Structure 1
Amino acid sequence: MTGVDPARVAALHAEATRRFEAQRPRSRELFERGRRVMPGGVPMSWMVKWPGSWPTFVARASGAHFTCVDGIDHVDLCLGDTGAMTGHSPAATVAAVRAQLDRGITTMLPGEDAVVAAEDLAARFGLPQWQFTLTATDANRHLVRYARHVTGRPRVAVIDWCYHGSVDETFATLDADGRVVARRGNIGPPVPPEVTTAVVPFNDLDAMERALAPGDVACVLLEPAMTNIGIVLPDDGYLAALRDMCDRTGTLLYVDETHTLCAGPGGCTRAWGLRPDAVVVGKTIGGGVPAAAFGMTAELADRVQRSVELEDVDVGGVGGTLAGNALSMAAVRATLTEVLTPEAFATMTARAVRWTEGVQAGIDAAGLPWQVTRLGCRAEYTFRPTPPHDGAEAAAADDFALQQLLHLWALVDGILLTPFHNMALMSPDTTDDDVDRHSRSFATVTQRLLA
């Protein structure tokens, strides 16, 4: 399917591995030390999936670049998998955090920063009521609980091959016979996923109609464009029809904009005129400081407030002692009001257009049956000739060995791509030279794939 000989992939991977190992002896030392005290030598298990014989350890990061402990400068097109879409340590965020450190880090009480941040989010997304968490996982989990609570319905609907953080109900997919099953790699699911979850292919309104018809689904949770199995864009009219279907069936519609914020200051919700009952946004809004938020319509917020007793508001499974802490709120206020501006998004999107054109040129020059899809300031190439229509098509086009080679080749050329995808994200600090550096590296490896 990829148009590439696996033997050629293996040979180039071996070559890139030799280069990687010669470049990064200090990272190897830290990795070997780390293995004595951390599984896999890393602070979180998924970090072992980076390409290379060991992880690259970072010494410092600034703007669109980072330097590893071996002194190598890297163009960072991963940007903390969206957590640093602002660029590393944006000046306004750093200044706000430094000032807040002297005023208190966490108090369990609100401050002015929370009001300003909520006002900014309300203006961006058109939803009037906001709450703050530390991660998008928390925000998604809280909204799912609220949906079941206010509707009295037990199940949720998600998209096949979706990802919404570590929310149990979302680790489900469809097997070859269309049955709901645990997604591959799902660790210790509390109950069989078909008990809690309906799974529907993206862009399939008929399947969604069937899922909602029984009247037991509390909410549909989806990204407006899929991003965690590759970028999959919605069909014309799909999201509007989904909104109408939810209205007819009394189902809440939740939009997770954690990654699709790349579409603009108010994500796809604003760019495409969507009307969700709730929106989740995470990672980016704190400029790298842990923070996320969820916004609700006035109607949903009222239903929630009227149905939760004051005496029980702290023990219902929604919240967290550090949620909305003073340090996070200072970071969110500064990031929203001074960093993630419309002007910044215009610059970031222009860089993504340039990246898309450079990668497509490399694909075309090599004669490979691949294509590039862009969403705002994010873009990704896939190993198929046409854009995927749903998550299953995107998953079927993946080739792990080829993906690892392309990521490793970029890494030894000093370029970091988003892990587990062939995706690049632009920050306000990303330059044309940064983009062109990747285009040259990509053109070299694609030509050699067919040599």
Structure 2
Amino acid sequence: MTEIDRARLAQLTKIETARFRDTHPESARLFAEAKKVMPGGVPMSWMSKWPGEFPLFIKEAKGARFTDVDGHTYIDFCLGDTGAMTGHSPDATVKAVRDQIGHGISLMLPTEDSVIVGTELARRFGLPLWQFTLTATDANRHAIRYARLVTGRSKVLVFDRCYHGSVDETFATLDGQGRTVAREGNLGAPVPLDLTTRVVEFNDLAGVEAALAQGDVACVLTEPALTNVGIVLPEPGFLEGLTALCKKYETLLIIDETHTISAGPGGMTALHSLKPDFLTIGKAIGGGIPSGAFGMTHEVAARIARLVSRDQIDTGGIGGTLAGNALSLAAMRATITEVLTPAAFSHMIPLADAWADGVDASIKEFGLNWHCNRLGARAEYAFIPHAPSTGAQAANAGDFPLEQYLHLRLLNDGFLLTPFHNMALMSPDTTRADVDAHTAAFRAMCAELVGQ
């Protein structure tokens, strides 16, 4: 296998950094102004993680492309880290938002769209009853609260290196001795994480059973495949075994499909015929408009109803003034009925396979010790020779300097990947020509990286 020459990597990164700086003077100017009014010069801290000395400032975006303030146009494989998996500003969503915005934005009263969206989500995912939020984070937070309410238990089980938004209980990991501790970078944790959370390795059913057998876990919160540490797919029988263990120990199962919706119209829940107690989702279902939702079974809803009195319905830590607003529901209705359709996934998933095939070909040609994983319309390469089976394996394969170079080189060549790892997402507007262009750019980058 070809080893990466670190001195060469540093020199190539220096070249690409200068190239980026020289070709983006207007973004540099705006960044200097932004630092006067925003910490780090960005409106949200994550935006500081883009490669280069400053982030791109964007002028406009449509479909699978966007243009920065310096006039450069890019093929977007990041797509807002799933928030724009629909493509930027899909026509149906834009029309729905324009129509609704002149007829009321937030009323704290329902509209017909809530019935349409709830019906479609029930059809896709199999859970009959739905509530709406502004984010998947809130959907997860509310599902956890309800799980604690109906079980009378306090703890949440999550998998090592999971991500479920900014939910306090989920920012936990396993240390070298297998203990639950705060994940590195966890800012301002309110309590030691082992008080609220148990952490188990993904794909470890024995570990799950040992954790649940203690009788204090209200719910298991998981994606059907880990996505935020790279793609970690479930081993055969894992999801079915997890469901069985939750039933055995009377622990509620919450499936987070926010990213794994890439697997198809009903996500991995439909593909694997999963039967969770709750399902949470957000990001893409609103076409870029802040949106989230969580579904539940009739049984869970009945248990909640017995424990929640109407006079306290607004003070229990569930819901929010803007949740379920008319604008978000109009966007969700158009997006899930007209944009993220079965036909769209039939277009997107083969493109992701072609993208991954192109990456795999270069990995093989240049003898790189890397691997490309696939999850429907999502694909991602990692610096590991095989598919990881746990979050720890995926995390240990991280190489920040190498990632920064790859992302910056591809950005300079006109391609945007997700900044947190090496993920590419296909949209209904992505074309085979876009994928082939990336394949050529990726091959050229690999050749330069290994000195060929």
Structure-1 separation of matches of 2:305 and 2:95 = 36
CA distance in 1, matches of 2:235, 2:153: 29
Q: Do the aligned residues in 2 keep the contact of 1:372 with 1:381 (CA within 8 Å)?
A: yes
**Residues 72-83 of structure 1 correspond to what in structure 2 (within 5 A)?**
72-83=72-83
Q: Does 1:315 align with 2:315?
A: yes
Whether the 8 Å CA contact 2:136–2:293 is kept in 1: the answer is: yes
CA RMSD of aligned residues (A): 0.9
1:16 corresponds to: 16
Answering whether residue 255 of structure 2 is matched by residue 252 of structure 1, we say no
What is the alpha-carbon distance in structure 2 between the residues aligned to residue 153 and residue 442 of structure 1?
A: 50
1:256 CA displacement: 0.4
1:189 aligned counterpart, secondary structure: coil
Residues 262 and 375, structure 1, Cα contact 8 Å, conserved in 2: yes
1:445, CA displacement in angstroms?
1.2
Aligned identity (percent) is 61
Instruction: Look up the match of 2:269.
Output: 269
User: Aligned residue for 1:30?
Assistant: 30
CA–CA distance in structure 1, aligned partners of residues 254 and 7 of structure 2:
45
Q: Match of 1:241, as an amino acid?
A: G
Residue 445 in structure 1 maps to residue 445 in structure 2 = yes
Structure 1 segments, 4+ long, off by >3 Å, are none
Partner SS for 1:281: strand
CA distance in 2 between counterparts of 1:2 and 1:95 reads 51
CA distance in 2 between partners of 1:97 and 1:124 (Å): 23
Q: Are the equivalent residues in 1 in contact too, given 2:17–2:52 (CA < 8 A)? A: yes
Residue 65 (structure 1) shift: 0.2
Cα pair 2:355 2:439 within 8 Å, conserved: yes
Please list, as runs of the form range in 1=range in 2, the aligned pairs for 1:393-404 lying within 5 A after superposition. 393-404=393-404
Separation of aligned partners in 2, 1:17 and 1:364: 28
What's 2:434 paired with? 434
Correspondence list, 1:240-389, <5 A: 240-389=240-389
What is the identity, as a one-letter code, of the residue corresponding to 1:434?
Answer: D
Q: Is the 8 A contact 1:2 1:370 kept in 2?
A: no
Q: Which runs of 5+ in 1 are unaligned?
A: none
Q: Which digits, 9 at most, give the CA deviation of each residue in 1:329-374, with x for residues without a partner? A: 0000000111110000010001101100011111111110111010
- Once residues 58 and 175 of structure 1 are traced to their aligned partners in structure 2, the CA distance between those partners, rounded to angstroms, is 40
2:183 maps to what in 1? 183
For the 8 Å contact 1:415–1:438, the answer to whether it is kept is yes
Alpha carbons 1:2, 1:383 under 8 Å: kept: no
- Tell me the SS of whatever aligns to 1:318: coil
SS in 2 for 1:320: coil
Query: What's the counterpart of residue 66 of structure 1?
Result: 66
Shift of 1:2: 8.3
Distance 1:350 1:450 in 2: 29
Question: Which residue is equivalent to 2:5?
Answer: 5
User: What's the offset of the Cα at 1:46?
Assistant: 1.3
Per-residue CA deviation, residues 15-48 of structure 1 (Å, 9 max, x unaligned), is 1111101110000000000000000110011111
User: Does the alignment pair 1:214 with 2:230?
Assistant: no
Rounded Cα–Cα distance in structure 1 between residues aligned with 2:37 and 2:330: 34
Is this contact kept in 1: 2:344–2:428, CA < 8 A?
yes
Measure how far apart 1:440 and its partner are: 1.2
Query: Tell me, what secondary structure is at the counterpart of 2:294?
Result: strand
State the TM-score, normalizing by the size of structure 1. Answer: 0.99
Normalised TM-score (structure 2):
0.99
**3-state SS of 1:258 partner:** coil
Q: CA deviation at 1:154?
A: 0.8
Separation in structure 1 between the aligned mates of residue 256 and residue 11 of structure 2, nearest angstrom: 40
CA distance in 2, matches of 1:244, 1:408: 45
Deviation of 1:433 after TM superposition, in Å, equals 1.1
How far did 1:5 drift? 2.0
* 1:140-174 deviations in Å (ceiling 9; x for gaps): 00000111111000101000000000000000000
Give the residue type in structure 1 aligned to 2:263.
A
Shift of 1:417: 0.2
Amino acid aligned to 2:191 = V
Paired residues in the alignment total: 451
Tell me which residue corresponds to 2:139. 139
Q: Is the 8 A contact 1:252 1:277 kept in 2?
A: yes
Equivalent residues of 2:2, 2:367 under 8 A apart: no
Aligned counterparts of 2:8 and 2:310: Cα–Cα separation in 1: 64
Kept in 2, the 8 Å contact 1:260–1:267? The answer is yes
Counterpart amino acid of 1:137? T
